[in-house]
A and B are shown apart, each in its own frame.
Chain A
Amino acid sequence: MNEFALVWEHRDMILIGFQNTLLIVVLGTVGSLVLGVLLTIPLMSRRRGPALIGTIYVDAMRCVPFLLFAYLLYFALPSLGLDFDNWWTGVVALILYNGAYMAELFRGAWANLPKELIEAGQAYGFTGWVLLRRIILPPVIFAAIPLVGNQLIQIVKDSAFLTIIAVAELTHEATSLQTTYFVPFASFLAVVFLYWLTCLSIESTVGYANRLAEVRR
């Protein structure tokens, strides 16, 4: 019981980690959704060049363990002359990595869209960006909501790996707490509880969005 009291005493550390995790997850979510949508466009393109480039990117990301990718980026960005600190490197890693998964989800939803729905858009004079924005992407996104929900939870879990590049997120703070005060069980249990809370709120938000989307599919 002593252990938990100790963790409670140093709760500000854990809370800083929690704050960082939440912020990183929110940025990672927004960024990977945007990247996912943008990547879906070349993936679904009838032109071979863009489709190939999109596919190579998505496949490359999906076959690298996130841990390694975060490491790679951490060392690669400075040598490319990009001066990101650990925190932003972590966010960029999450976005680049999960954006590929998002793109794949959206691509699947797009491919399953009834063809006539898009043709109706074309028949009524929609083209290019307006066709995409008004006719194609909204139903694609509505259809993908449940799978996007799963991916958001993946982002939360991936964010824990950012401890290896010393981002002060939840896992990182728990680790330093336990190495300083030798309270592994209590500190890890505390952060597991916070991760669990985060995922629970993501799930209920996604569930709510899904109910809104239901009638629009």
Chain B
Amino acid sequence: MTDDQTTMSQLAVQQRPVILEVSGLSKSFGANPVLRDISLKIHKAETVCLLGPSGSGKSTLLRCMNWLEQPDGGTVFLAGQPLGARPGGGLRMRDKELAAMRTRIGMVFQHFALWPHMSVLQNVMEAPVHVLKQTKDEARATAVSLLQRVGLAGKMDSFPARLSGGQKQRVAIARALAMKPEVILFDEPTSSLDPELVGEVLAVMQDLVREGMTMVVVTHEMGFARDVASRVVFMDGGHIVESGPPDQFFEAPQTERARQFLMRYAARNN
């Protein structure tokens, strides 16, 4: 891509509506400040990859986005609507209101977090039926087609305990998609997989990118970030240190910390 084209596509992204925005977010655990004044906008159909060393606050940021972690300061907006706290901060939303907004945000966990007591099909149908109040037939039809799409039509009646890690994570992605979310948050979706299973999960995610899903992905898969991210956000010590298109981040990182991070990563993988 030439510089001109990069600028053009960036421009196009900026003009799309903002799906998820965090503004001035801060979070401490006890005396340990983990997020410091984070602001970030995720536009429709963007894939934002969050990179950074372990402990830099990536998971915490992701978990603040749907208030699994309650921020100490700042606001999260979903399609312009404040989430968790009421406008102006402070007052916490009621659980029901928060839950209703959470249904619009998918989440995929590092350790899958499938519900072990339910079959694969039930896992995918569960929230559509019991939270969104879809009929079972409707939810089943959606679930079956999503499981076909992630290549697990043959495993619908299996329990999670019987699946490989890669299969579990693909079920987890189908479970997220069943809610027809406006954005999906991925927290290191391939980090607990055996190396030979990483590819099948990344392939499914790549499909989603192609179809224009809005995604925030915490990952250590640099290849994935480089190939499919529309933007890379690099975090260190609870700050966003650098943010930009992947070409720029990987070829010409702007900060010393990003350079060091990439060098350490390259050294580890040679």
Contact = CB atoms under 8 A, between A and B. Distances in A.
Query: Does B bind A?
Result: yes
A124 B127 contact: yes
A127 to B, nearest CB: 5
B111 A119 contact: no
B18 interface: no
B31 to A, nearest CB: 22
Given A123-B102, A138-B117, A116 B109 contact: yes
A52 interface: no
Nearest to A215: B159
B187 to A, nearest CB: 10
A126 B127 CA distance: 8
Contact of B117 (A114, A119, A216): A216
B239 to A, nearest CB: 25
Interface size class of B (residues with CB under 8 A): 20 to 34
Nearest to A142: B117
B161 A216 contact: yes
B180 interface: no
B188 interface: no
Contacts of B132: 125
A126 B130 contact: yes
A117 B131 contact: no
A216 B116 contact: yes
Contacts of B117: 138-139, 142, 216-217
Contact of A125 (B103, B109, B159, B161): B103
Given A127-B95, A128-B95, A139 B115 contact: yes
B126 interface: yes
Interface string B197-234: 00000000000000000000000000000000000000
Contacts of A127: 95-96, 98-99
A134 interface: yes
Given A123-B107, A125-B100, A127-B95, A215 B162 contact: yes
B105 interface: yes
A122 interface: yes
Contacts of B130: 126, 130, 134
A73 interface: no
A135 interface: yes
Contacts of A125: 99-100, 102-103, 127, 131-132, 179
Interface string B107-130: 101111111111000000011001
B109 A119 contact: yes
Contacts of B115: 117, 120-121, 135, 139
B99 A215 contact: no
Contact of A117 (B107, B113, B161): B113
Interface centre among B68, B99, B114, B159 (most CB of A within 10 A): B99
Contact of B116 (A122, A126, A128, A139): A139
Interface in B159-191: 159, 161-162, 175, 179
Interface of B: 66, 68, 95-96, 98-100, 102-103, 105, 107, 109-118, 126-127, 130-132, 159, 161-162, 175, 179
17 contacts: A116-B113, A117-B115, A117-B116, A119-B68, A120-B109, A120-B114, A122-B68, A123-B68, A124-B102, A124-B126, A124-B179, A125-B102, A126-B99, A126-B131, A135-B115, A142-B117, A217-B116
